[in-house]
Amino acid sequence: MNATELMHTARGMVAKGRGILAADESTSTIKKRFDGIQLESTEEARRTYREMLFTAPAAAESISGVILYDETIRQKTKDGTPFPLYLMKQGIIPGIKVDTGAKPLAGFNGETITEGLDGLRERLVEYRKLGALFAKWRAVIDIGQDIPTHYAIKANAGALARYAALCQENGIVPIVEPEVLMDGAHSIERCEEVTNLTLSTVFRELYEARVLLEGIVLKPNMVISGKKAAHRAGPEVVAEATLRTLKRHVPPAVPGIAFLSGGQSSQEATLHLALMNRIGKPLPWALTFSYGRALQDDALKAWGGKAANFGAGQKAFAKRARLNGLAADGSYNAEMESQAA
């Protein structure tokens, strides 16, 4: 493990005013997205869509890294340049999703465990050769009646720690993603309670696994009301609760926190990030974004799968990336949405 290289990459991933594009949708997930624009999900359609995002003019000003999928890391631009090499030339760090998904946790109804540790060491060696400098593993914690259990949280935290240690052994920065889902009708107070327990457990497991905290990036959920809650907390309350939780459990050694959007609307995710950066200063770590849908939805709709709309899709993506870049340094405000249009 080269600690200096890991720390350099991790700091680059959370550079000021820049964040991470999560373009690691599985084939089944991107098919659902393409169904929404009535486009058949072929390999070439997926390649074209990813190229539209990666080659958007000025994207590198706001995007520090891109999480790729196994198929995507092996694909090339239209002129034959491998995606990882193209991104590196733009100053964007290529990464790779390495987990194989959340599966039912035996004996624990309604809870899951993320799989993918078998053979991971060998896969990381290959991905490093393909150009990946960081990786991502997502653990899923659901809130419902009598869940999550402490066992489910501990099992997922343990898997995250084992994954992180294997990544660092192979010179790859691990994104540690423990996601407390915002599905359901739970209150923001319940989300805060579960997120506190989850982060506390994750960092205990990382410490015991001897993971270098200076060489990771945390990708947590925001502390937010469930989608179906009768009364959902406002943006300022979300920002305050999230900051309170992070300050309790995330060591200052961690260089940065890149939030997932977790089902928030594009504007909601941007506003919450901006508020945290505005009211939280000074903070021991950088606060930025690692969004998928919240960065891509506008671009996907503008493109619509039509070659004639390629440029329109790029403009929509560049706008969303720029607004989130502004949110990452606290200078975004809602009026910019109409101005940017």
Q: Match 């390999």 to its residue by tokens.
A: 43
Q: Which of 111, 136, 205, 219 is catalytic?
A: 219
CA distance 231 to 222: 17
- Residue 271's identity, in one-letter code, is L
Distance CA 199, CA 217 (A): 13
pTM, to two decimals = 0.96
- Decide: 258 and 218 in contact? Cβ < 8 Å: yes
Give the model's pLDDT for residue 64: 98
Secondary structure string (H, E, C) spanning 60-124: HHCEEEEEECHHHHCCECCCCCEHHHHHHHCCCEEEEECCCCEEECCCCCCCEEECCCCCHHHHH
Distance, CA of 301 to CA of 297 (rounded, Å)? 6
Q: SS3 of 137, please?
A: strand
306 is catalytic: no
Q: Write down the pLDDT at residue 334.
A: 85
| CATH domain 3-340 topology | TIM Barrel (3.20.20)
Q: How far apart (Å, rounded) are the C-alpha atoms in residues 220 and 214?
A: 17
First-to-last alpha carbon distance for the chain, in angstroms, is 46
pLDDT of residue 340: 55
- Whether 219 is a known active-site residue: answer yes
Per-residue pLDDT of the chain (341 residues; tens, 9 = 90+): 799 999 999 999 999 999 999 999 999 999 999 999 999 999 999 999 999 999 999 889 999 999 999 999 999 999 999 999 999 999 999 999 999 999 999 999 999 999 999 999 999 999 999 999 999 999 999 999 999 999 999 999 999 999 999 999 999 999 999 999 999 999 999 999 999 999 999 999 999 999 999 999 999 999 999 999 999 999 999 999 999 999 999 999 999 999 999 989 999 999 999 999 999 889 999 999 999 999 999 999 999 999 999 999 999 999 999 999 999 999 998 888 887 54
Cα torsion angle, 134, 135, 136, 137, sign: negative
* Residue 319 · residue 298 · CB < 8 Å: yes
Distances (CA, A) of 200 to 46, 157, 205, 248: 38, 10, 9, 8
Contact (CB, 8 A) for 317 and 266 = no
Distance in angstroms (rounded) separating the CA atoms of residues 193 and 197: 6
Residue 287 token pair = 């606060």
